[in-house]
Chain A
């Protein structure tokens, strides 16, 4: 039964309010804690939080209903979420989830009768190189198999707190397979800040310009340009934000940077802060990476202690800057910079109308720079080693190196750093991909590349990527891959605009129909039609790219779906016989007229 009475809610939440104060932009942080206490956000808590923050109830309910890791219905003391990225799927996660549910008499998506446990799937948790993976109450479980699930079932049965579970269940490896200039060379904390102070902000900005550094989060915008715009923008405060939301399925390079190169990232933020004139920075860490939180907090503390953060950094009077970590709560769209800013403000993660852009009107409407983790790490190197050094690596339009998160059908999944301009052939050779058939470059929102195109190059001018590189060997069912991606977009659409909210659903339903063997050429045309509407009418990048995998498949992989198609011009949208099932059960009929083919 769901607990509904909360007579002491005020007292229970008092320490939470104590910690976070009563600013409305603390809402998401507060709700994360509410979820932790009650295993959901009960109506009483919504009322209590609303009155404490002085915001309407609807706003609190709106936020609580938006993030996947918050819930308005109880999810049990233990919530086990199986990652359903395509790599997890290939590693057998759906079967493992079924096994686990079966074992514990559970139905996915439902909470057990004793309110102890619920099991569901969640979008890619960023452990593709060590899957199958899952999250238990937000903590990552890696390398799952039946034995581990048996153990987990036992631990849950014994009601052992997650913090007391054996640590081997939670082991996360870096798996750095190929290090270049960014990952390979040593870095002394403070060095890049020192260099920036010595050289001066304007001159360091020139180095950024000379480096040709472009954003690593996907869009490839010039860093020097973004920083100059923000630096020039008028405002009471300037902010710099590190985008560590890393939600694109198949991407896990930021996880490794955050785990082992946190100083480099903080240093990049601090350099950026110096240049744009920010005193406050935020690191927006995806909820799936909460296991990194403690370590990151320690890095920040150490940097404060050594004068690399806080007041008068490195003794420079007036150079004050600090970083605060914000934890996400299960939402891919919060990686989109304006949605991220909304989320930082404690709101629903819905992309803003632009213009104005964050560089002039970002966090709290103030000039704000949002940069990807890797971009900031590059910026730190450039501040130290100069723009020319950086520009010498890679190609003319794509300078520097790119970190790839390689997973899927290859012998050595993990992190690979290459100078831009590398061909897919070379990469596939390095990671030990046997008989590769297709590669999803840059995740579902990127490009599905066929083996005919393996001489293409990773670069902004040819194959741009935010880092995901998922390999499929010959024999893999590309339709199933595309189905997985279609489900992902339908699950992650924020729901704000019509074309994406409805289009991602339509796309999912049509792909499902084809997968189930009921598709016709008419359905292929429908997919193109829906894809066109999403591409041309959507509000943000999610909707613009949500049709990419489907359209790539239609164009490049006819073998993946043609044999699945019915030879008719048209097939019913729904399963005719299935739609009679309820009535058959009610009437007990099973005669010929009670069936349709």
Chain B
């Protein structure tokens, strides 16, 4: 089998995890069934590395697991109370930065931001809310874009660019003014060539991109994260696509 090639290894939380050159710490962890919290990472697309939830301690130094190439002899700590507490603070920052009113959100129960918060046992957003004025764009016949809930993970940007070949989304502004933009002079999603069949329409981890008329098909209480932790759900697709042998 692949044992000959997969000879290099790192340890994550005491567990030996093998990797091949070119894999990131996250790749290696996912392949080995070790969960490292993540929001902006999706193995389908180029790693981005901006949510910082996946930060792990490598030989005592914090590193971004989804972008850092694995290297022999890395001793990685991930599942520690300190890191989880820092990760919780990041999730709290994402909550107060936008306008997240879960009870009024169609994505509730299917939302990875919320699920990450559940996983990290977040009881309140802790920080002061920014309540920024943000736009809801309903101009597209099949899709809502609600920027109140965008966490700037750029998954839609990457999916549209890398898979759909369309570049429907992009990022403008800077600092706290950083925001998602769409590829139309009017600034309206309805004036782009975005289609509900695009990969980019399916990848939003939150309720920022919502497909119309799906709303409450699955009732609250029976949704993805209502009974399953994000740590289980986010590992599922990876297991399916795991190569038989290398």
Contacts and interface: CB of A to CB of B under 8 A. Distances in A.
B45 interface: no
Interface stretch (B2-10, B49-57, B216-224, B237-245): B49-57
Contact of B175 (A491, A506, A529, A574): A491
Interface string B111-132: 0000000000000000110100
Contacts of B182: 58
Contacts of A33: none
A65 B181 CA distance: 10
B50 A61 contact: no
B64 A501 contact: no
A506 B52 contact: no
B183 A58 contact: yes
Given A498-B90, A506-B93, A539-B52, A57 B172 contact: no
Contact of B62 (A72, A494, A501, A536): A536
A573 B129 CA distance: 9
Contacts of A56: 167, 170, 183
Contacts of A506: 93, 127-128
B86 A533 contact: yes
A107 B182 CA distance: 31
Nearest to A66: B174
B97 A536 contact: no
Contact of B69 (A44, A355, A509, A529): A355
A65 B169 contact: no
A498 B183 contact: no
A117 B158 CA distance: 39
Contacts of B96: 502
A129 to B, nearest CB: 28
Interface string B39-55: 00000000101111001
A65 B174 contact: yes
A580 interface: no
Contacts of A221: none
A533 B49 contact: no
A59 interface: yes
Nearest to A513: B128
A9 to B, nearest CB: 12
B196 interface: no
A524 interface: no
B1 interface: no
Interface in B122-174: 127-128, 130, 151-152, 157, 167-174
Nearest to A492: B175
B93 A490 contact: no
B233 interface: no
A495 B93 CA distance: 13
Interface in B165-209: 167-178, 181-185
A366 interface: no
A66 B175 CA distance: 9
A175 to B, nearest CB: 32
A158 B55 CA distance: 57
A62 interface: yes
Interface string B93-113: 110110000000000000000
Contacts of A490: 175-176
B67 interface: yes
B50 A497 contact: yes
B89 interface: yes
B172 A498 contact: no
A44 B167 contact: no
A87 interface: no
Nearest to B67: A353
B172 A61 contact: yes
A498 B184 contact: no
A58 B52 contact: no
A494 B174 contact: yes
Given A58-B167, A506-B93, A536-B62, A64 B172 contact: yes
Contacts of A493: 174-176
A529 B82 CA distance: 12
A65 B128 CA distance: 26
A75 B184 CA distance: 23
Contact of A494 (B86, B151, B175): B175
Interface centre among A46, A47, A56, A494, by most B CB within 10 Å?
Answer: A56
A353 B170 contact: no
B128 A498 contact: no
A495 B176 contact: yes
Interface centre among A46, A64, A501, by most B CB within 10 Å?
Answer: A501
Interface centre among B69, B97, B128, by most A CB within 10 Å?
Answer: B128
Nearest to B51: A498
Interface string A464-508: 000000000000000000000000001111111111011111100
B174 A537 contact: no
Given A498-B50, A498-B51, A502-B96, A65 B67 contact: no
B181 A62 contact: yes
Given A498-B52, A533-B86, A536-B62, A574 B174 contact: no
Given A56-B170, A501-B178, A47 B50 contact: no
A491 B86 CA distance: 24
B167 A496 contact: no
Nearest to B168: A58
Contact of A66 (B47, B167, B173, B176): B173
A498 B94 contact: yes
Interface in A55-107: 56-59, 61-62, 64-66, 72
Contacts of B171: 58, 62, 348
Nearest to B170: A58
Contacts of A57: 170, 183-185
Contacts of B49: 353, 497, 539
A307 interface: no
Nearest to A489: B175
Contact of A499 (B93, B172, B174, B183): B93
A538 B175 contact: no
A65 B167 contact: no
A492 B52 CA distance: 19
A366 to B, nearest CB: 20
A502 B89 CA distance: 11
A43 interface: yes
A502 B93 contact: yes
Interface centre among A58, A65, A355, A505, by most B CB within 10 Å?
Answer: A58
A533 B47 CA distance: 22
A527 to B, nearest CB: 12
Interface centre among A72, A348, A537, by most B CB within 10 Å?
Answer: A537
A536 B50 contact: no
29 contacts: A57-B183, A58-B167, A58-B171, A58-B181, A62-B171, A62-B181, A65-B172, A348-B174, A355-B69, A490-B176, A492-B175, A493-B174, A495-B177, A496-B178, A498-B94, A498-B151, A499-B90, A499-B93, A501-B152, A501-B176, A502-B127, A503-B93, A529-B89, A533-B90, A537-B55, A537-B86, A539-B64, A573-B128, A574-B128
- 5 tightest A-B CB contacts, nearest first: A58-B170, A495-B178, A65-B172, A56-B167, A502-B93
Given A490-B176, A496-B178, A533-B90, 20 more contacts: A56-B167, A57-B185, A58-B168, A58-B172, A58-B182, A62-B171, A65-B174, A66-B172, A72-B172, A348-B174, A355-B69, A490-B175, A497-B50, A498-B50, A499-B93, A505-B97, A505-B176, A533-B93, A537-B62, A539-B50
